[in-house]
Amino acid sequence: MSLVYLDNNATTMVAPEVLEAMLPYFKGEYGNPSSIYDLAHGANLAVKKSREIIADFLGAKDPKEIIFTSCGSESANTAIKGVLDVNRNKKHIITTRVEHPCVLNLYKDLEKRGYQVSWIDVDSKGDLDIGSLLEAITPDTVLVSVMMANNETGTIYPVDKISEAVKMQNPDTKVFVDGVQAAGKIPINLKETKIDLFGISGHKFHAPKGVGALYVKSGTMISPLIVGGHQERGKRAGTENVPYIVGMATAAKLAAENLKDELTRVKSLRDKLENGILSNIKNAVLNSRGSVRVPNTTNIGFQYIEGELILLHLNDEGICASSGSACTSGSLEPSHVLRAQGVPFTSLHGSIRFSLSRYTTEEDIDYTIEKLPAIIKKLAKISPFQKELNEIFK
Ligand code: PLP
């Protein structure tokens, strides 16, 4: 049985070219980029070049605006805590109800510590109530955090327009965008926006786990999360993880080259999967229908069926997908994103996210469309909601 990997929003396969590019920095080129002898020169140059590539990938004006981190969560924590620390007199912050836990749980913690948080709602499509967000801004608002693409549903938020509107209301308010699920899937051009801080994570676009980056617009003051040496221009201490930084830069280059493929081929495979499921399985409903979404993601609810059981049966057929985000699966808590959208309980517990990548093939999609109806049929037989399911399937 071959593996069908449809969980690319959780993590991605390391691209072979990425691994190849990393290997020299585990072998001969092991110098510390801060050292002055010749051995360190290669490592230093590699970090410099990688910074330029990531700056280009994100459309930053200047490579100095990029700092390397260990992951998307660190990028978010650095941005949010870093901004708050240099603006201690202001206590109002804004975010959405559908952020990844690395923002959501940090905001909950800040709320407990005395910050006043405005939580912005989404509608049933997953679209953000931008009017409420703008109305919430006061002279005391220090930070607004909005993700660019949702990890569970793929819904895209117009962060460029939001950042402009925020600055019109209060030019001193900083805007952090969690771009982890957008990087490599849709175009990003930060120099054309008013976004101050933007986080990404390598393992979501075919680099290894354990490396990320944070864009900090020139002139934006943050204090470092990790204090120590002078690496990353004093914004993030710790010897640079040279092989992983090189890996992420290589992955970014490949992602940029493949962006058109993502927007066309990957999208058409996603649409084929979505249509194949919705037309063959009567209790399937599309979550976030009608919202603008990244091309690789679909989230489908199977009414009156337990999502974890669907995942186990898919696994038996060699298909990897997920319910909720990787961080919340296992908790049996229904997704906070789908709850915020008002998805009814009938499909809340049976919602599955399928996320594709440039390595997904048409055969993967055909195989999934072929296997899923029998799984749902089998699980429908053991569901406690027989009357409701009989009504749907009649
Ligand atoms: N933000 C979003 C939208 C994500 O999907 C994730 C990971 O799933 C993260 C942040 C956290 O990234 P990392 O796992 O690199 O910490």
Looking at the predicted structure, is the pLDDT value of residue 363 above 60? yes
- Residue whose CA lies nearest to ligand 1 atom number 12: 72
Ligand 1: centre distance to CA 369 (Å): 28
The reply to whether ligand 1 has any atom less than 6 angstroms from the CB of 99 is no
The full DSSP string for 206-264 is TSPSS-EEEEE-TT-----SS-SSSGGGGTS-S---HHHHHHHHHHHHHHHHTHHHIII
Nearest ligand 1 atom to the CA of 326 is 8
Same CATH fold, 16-257 and 4-11+259-384? Answer: no
Contact 155, 106 (CB under 8 A): no
For residue 355, what are the CA distances in angstroms to 8, 17, 269, 288, 299? 5, 22, 11, 14, 9
Q: Is the CB of 248 under 6 A from ligand 1?
A: no
Pocket test for ligand 1, best of 100, 185, 209 (most atoms within 8 A of CB): 100
pLDDT, position 2: 84
Q: Which pair of tokens denotes residue 31?
A: 């110098």
Q: Is the CB of 71 under 6 A from ligand 1?
A: yes
Each residue's pLDDT tens digit, 28-40: 999 999 999 999 9
Q: What whole-number distance in Å separates Cα of residue 198 and Cα of residue 318?
A: 36
Q: Is the CB of 102 under 6 A from ligand 1?
A: yes
Kindly give, in sequence order, each residue whose CB lies less than 8 Å from that of residue 67, ignoring residues fewer than 6 positions away: 78, 213, 214, 216, 232, 233, 235, 236
pLDDT (average), residues 241-260: 97
Distance CA 177, CA 159 (A): 7
d(CA 70, CA 60): 20
- Whole-angstrom Cα distance, residue 300 to residue 123? 17
> Looking up tokens 């959501």, which residue turns up?
104
Question: Which two structure tokens, joined as six digits, stand for 92?
Answer: 């109002």
CATH architecture of 16-257: 3-Layer(aba) Sandwich (3.40)
Which pair of structure tokens corresponds to residue 189? 């051009």
* 3-state SS record for 357-386: CCCCCHHHHHHHHHHHHHHHHHHHHCCCCH
Strands 66-69 and 116-120: unpaired
Contacts of 374 (CB under 8 A, 6+ apart): none
Pocket test for ligand 1, best of 201, 294, 297 (most atoms within 8 A of CB): 201
Q: Is residue 107 within 8 Å of 93, Cβ to Cβ?
A: yes
With a 6 Å cutoff on the Cβ, whether 201 touches ligand 1 is yes
| Average pLDDT value for the chain | 95
β-partners of residue 149 are 156
Over range 177-192, report the average pLDDT.
98
d(CA 4, CA 365): 8
**pLDDT at 50 > cutoff 70:** yes
SS3 55: helix
For range 306-324, the mean pLDDT: 94
- Nearest atom, ligand 1, residue 178 CA: 1
pLDDT in tens, 119-164: 999 999 999 999 999 999 999 999 999 999 999 999 999 999 999 9
Instruction: Judge if the beta carbon of residue 190 lies within 6 A of ligand 1.
Output: no
Q: Is pLDDT above 50 for 328?
A: no
Please count the CA atoms within 13 angstroms of the CA of 154 that sit on its side-chain side.
27
pLDDT at res. 329: 46
pLDDT band at 327 (very low <50, low <70, confident <90, very high): very low
The answer to whether 328 and 9 have CB atoms below 8 angstroms apart is no
- pLDDT(222) > 50: yes
* 122 token code pair: 């989404």
CATH superfamily of 4-11+259-384: Aspartate Aminotransferase, domain 1 (3.90.1150.10)
45 — pLDDT class (breaks 50, 70, 90): very high
Instruction: Specify the pLDDT at position 172.
Output: 97
The verdict on the CB of residue 335 being under 6 Å from ligand 1 is no
| C-alpha closest to that of 369 among 289, 301, 314 | 314
For residue 212, report the distance from its CA to the centre of ligand 1, in Å. Answer: 10
Q: Where are the domains of the chain?
A: 4-11+259-384, 16-257
| Region of poorest pLDDT, from 141-145, 198-202, 342-346 | 342-346
Atom number in ligand 1 closest to CA 74: 16
User: pLDDT class for 239, splitting at 50, 70, 90?
Assistant: very high
The C-alpha atoms of residue 284 and residue 299 are separated, in whole angstroms, by: 10
Best residue for ligand 1 mutational test, from 77, 151, 176, 241 (most atoms within 8 Å of Cβ): 151
The answer, yes or no, to whether residue 332 has pLDDT greater than 70, is no
* The pLDDT value given to residue 334: 87
| Residue 236 clears pLDDT 80, i.e. is over it | yes
**DSSP category for residue 160:** H
Residue 94 has pLDDT above 50, yes or no: yes
Atom of ligand 1 nearest to the CA of 75: 16
Report whether pLDDT(98) > 60. Answer: yes
- Encoded amino acid at 338, one letter: L
CA of 40 to the centre of ligand 1 (A): 32
pLDDT for 325:
44
Q: How far is the CA of 180 from the centre of ligand 1 (A)?
A: 6
Residue from 72, 68, 26 nearest 209 by CA: 72
Phi and psi angles of residue 229, each rounded to the nearest 5 degrees, phi first: -70, -175
* Nearest atom in ligand 1 to 71's CA: 15
- Banded model confidence at residue 324, pLDDT cuts 50, 70, 90: low
What are the beta bridge partners of residue 322?
353
Atom 10, ligand 1: residue with shortest CA distance: 72
pLDDT in tens, 276-285: 999 999 999 9
- Judge whether residue 199 has pLDDT over 70: yes
By most ligand atoms within 8 Å of CB, the mutation choice from 9, 107, 157, 180 for ligand 1 is 180
For the Cβ of 178 lying below 6 angstroms from any atom of ligand 1, the answer is yes
Kindly calculate the radius of gyration of the chain based on its CA atoms and give it in whole angstroms: 22
pTM: 0.96
Across 360-369, average pLDDT: 98
102 given a catalytic annotation: no
Sheet holding 197-201, edge to edge: 66-69, 212-216, 197-201, 174-178, 141-147, 92-96, 116-120
